[in-house]
Amino acid sequence: MNARQTKVWEDASMCRSVSTISSSASTAEATAGNDVSSFLFDDYRDDAFCVKSRCRHWLSVGHLSLTTTDTELKSLFYPYGADEAFTAWEGAAMTGFVGFDSPEMAELAAQKMHAFIPRRQSQALTVRSVTLDEVSQARSKGPKSLVAVLYSECATQGISAVIRRSKSPVAMARDVAMEVARASPIVLQRLMAAFSDLSPQWFGFAAFSEELLKSLLGSLLEASGMNAAQAINCGTVVGNLFQMNMITGDPYYLAARLLQRAGHRLAQLEGVCALAHTCALLPDCHMSRASFWAQVADTATKVTDQETSNALLDHLRRYTKTSAYAAATSTSSLSSSAPPPSVFSTVPCTPPKAARQQMVPQRACPQHLRQDEMKRRTVYVSHLPGLLPQSMLLELLNAAGPVNKVRICAGTGYCTLFAFVEMRTLEGAQRVMCMNGLQLMGFAIRVQTARNAVQDVLKEDARFDASGALIQPCLFGMSQAPLSKCLTSADGIR
């Protein structure tokens, strides 16, 4: 056999050898890894490819606060070695998911954190193990876009979560501005409630706020096809951005500039006036506010279209009514700066003889104990905007008289809140009744006598000693947070 034949024989032998080995591995051996289908299946499951994560062991966390962010959830489980965490919304319910590399740490976290009550929460957590399929379904089911979450049953905290998770705050602000223009009143209220959940510590807070303002102003002035309702939406949201301190400056100076740019177009004028009405209760803007409404009056006299002129005059009458009420309440506050002569007065005691004369009606008629008096001193206030600061509501109530109790409640399916307020005197309750129809952040509140008194007692309520002397004033309103952050159950009203 020559050298060439020997080379051909060796090549053929090598081919038969490789073929024999391959056949033996695929048919005779059952070792995992030799079959390519088994290798791909194991890689798909073991590497947690289905959930796009390196974590293989996951826990489900229920009863979380609706304001919990992904970062806060991970920090909650960080002592147990949590590697990843996210929150998912399904309807109005939010569930947290926490991933671990170690099965031992996942089991330990489930044992320690189940039935644990985190800080600033009143309900215990429910923690259980879940499969990778459940985690994958939770990621896929949750609404990803702003439109999907905005028009769903998801709570407003879910809207703010979608805004925070956006990779580009500027692009998200433009999308929000588009939704503002076509939003219904309920959707608009959901959006503004979501804005109140955005923290200044969020990295995109400044960029989002600035771009949202720029987009809204552009829509207000440059869109020729915008109707009055859309312009009012844009102006109202701009005013609320000032109310929530998302943007700083003088809103009435901005409104005056917008008024000059708007010309005599009715839709744009409606939007500018909506901005001004929304900021009606902001302090330290007296000069610019008066200057703006003077420009509105001047425009109303110069415009040739009768419909536009009548609309501006209606806005002027609304402003006059609001400013007259503000002046009346400020005068009432000044006149009542000295404590009124009531049984709960904190004025130092008069001479003993006069004191004995005053104590007789206190023992015969203790107002803070009589149920009928409590009922007559309790008022029901509805159509309260959820973004109204607590301190601002208390300031309005104190203008009528001292307050004993405040309970803020929410009704199912309503975009506004309602409150039960117990005043200290009957005169104070009657003054609060005069606030019926007052405009607060674009909403006309309704005030009427409550059917029942407030029966429960909270630590922030006004407290009195056995003789009727004031021990602690009502502490409601010490916070600048919106009313939506201090909701209570209406079960205490019987």
Specify whether 439 is located in the same domain as 479: yes
Of 87, 121, 141, the residue at which a domain comes to its end is: 141
Q: Is residue 220 part of a domain?
A: yes
- Residue 455: what are its φ and ψ, rounded to 5°? -90, -35
Residue pair 440/386 in contact by the 8 Å Cβ criterion: no
**Confidence band, pLDDT 50/70/90 cuts, at residue 255:** very high
Greatest Cα pair distance in the chain: 142
Specify whether 175 is located in the same domain as 196: yes
Residue 259 domain boundaries? 146-331
Q: Is residue 319 part of a domain?
A: yes
Please give the Cα distance from 408 to 490 (Å, whole number): 8
Specify whether 91 is located in the same domain as 218: no
Q: Is residue 322 part of a domain?
A: yes
The label of the residue with tokens 């100076």 reads: 253
Please give the Cα distance from 48 to 103 (Å, whole number): 14
Q: Is residue 324 part of a domain?
A: yes
Query: How would you classify the pairing of strands 93-100 and 439-440?
Result: unpaired
Rounded to the nearest 10°, the torsion over CA 290, 294, 295, 299 is: 150
Q: List, for residues 321-347, the tens digit of each pLDDT value.
A: 776 655 555 444 444 443 433 333 333
What does the block give as tokens for 37? 């289908």
Specify whether 95 is located in the same domain as 57: yes
Q: What is the 8-class DSSP label of residue 493?
A: B
pLDDT at 220: 87
- Residue 264: what are its φ and ψ, rounded to 5°? -115, 25
Element (H, E) at 428: helix 426-433
CA 412 to chain centroid, in Å, comes to 16
Rounded to the nearest 10°, the torsion over CA 97, 170, 223, 387 is: 50
Q: Is residue 232 part of a domain?
A: yes
Grouping H, G, I as helix, E, B as strand and the rest as coil, residue 454 is strand
What does the block give as tokens for 240? 């609320």
- Residue 37: what are its φ and ψ, rounded to 5°? -65, -40
Specify whether 153 is located in the same domain as 288: yes
Of 81, 109, 141, the residue at which a domain comes to its end is: 141
Of 139, 131, 89, the C-alpha closest to 106 is 131
Please give the Cα distance from 322 to 451 (Å, whole number): 29
Specify whether 219 is located in the same domain as 185: yes
Of 387, 483, 479, 478, the C-alpha closest to 441 is 387
Q: Is residue 23 part of a domain?
A: no
For the residues of 140-161, what is the DSSP string, one character each?
A: HHS--SHHHHHTSS--HHHHHH
Specify whether 125 is located in the same domain as 212: no
Specify whether 297 is located in the same domain as 167: yes
CATH number, domain at 122?
3.30.70.330
Please give the Cα distance from 19 to 36 (Å, whole number): 17
Of 392, 394, 381, 488, the C-alpha closest to 441 is 392
Whether 359 shows a pLDDT value over 50: the answer reads no
Specify whether 110 is located in the same domain as 248: no
Q: List, for residues 283-293, the tens digit of each pLDDT value.
A: 777 788 888 98
Of 269, 203, 282, 273, the C-alpha closest to 241 is 282
**Confidence band, pLDDT 50/70/90 cuts, at residue 24:** very low
Of 105, 126, 141, the residue at which a domain comes to its end is: 141
Specify whether 106 is located in the same domain as 211: no
Please give the Cα distance from 16 to 8 (Å, whole number): 13
Q: Is residue 26 part of a domain?
A: no
Q: List, for residues 363-391, the tens digit of each pLDDT value.
A: 444 444 567 788 889 999 998 988 888 88
Query: How would you classify the pairing of strands 93-100 and 84-90?
Result: antiparallel
State the number of CA atoms in the 13 A half-sphere of 391 facing the CB.
8
Specify whether 270 is located in the same domain as 193: yes
pTM of the model: 0.52
Specify whether 488 is located in the same domain as 378: yes
Q: List, for residues 413-447, the tens digit of each pLDDT value.
A: 777 899 999 999 888 888 888 888 887 777 788 89
**Confidence band, pLDDT 50/70/90 cuts, at residue 133:** confident
Number of neighbours of residue 275 by Cβ within 10 angstroms: 29
**Confidence band, pLDDT 50/70/90 cuts, at residue 61:** very high
Q: Is residue 453 part of a domain?
A: yes
**Confidence band, pLDDT 50/70/90 cuts, at residue 228:** confident
Q: Spell out the residues 6+ positions from residue 100 whose beta carbon is closer than 8 angstroms to its own.
A: 55, 56, 57, 58, 59, 80, 81, 82, 83, 106, 109
State the total domains in the chain. 3
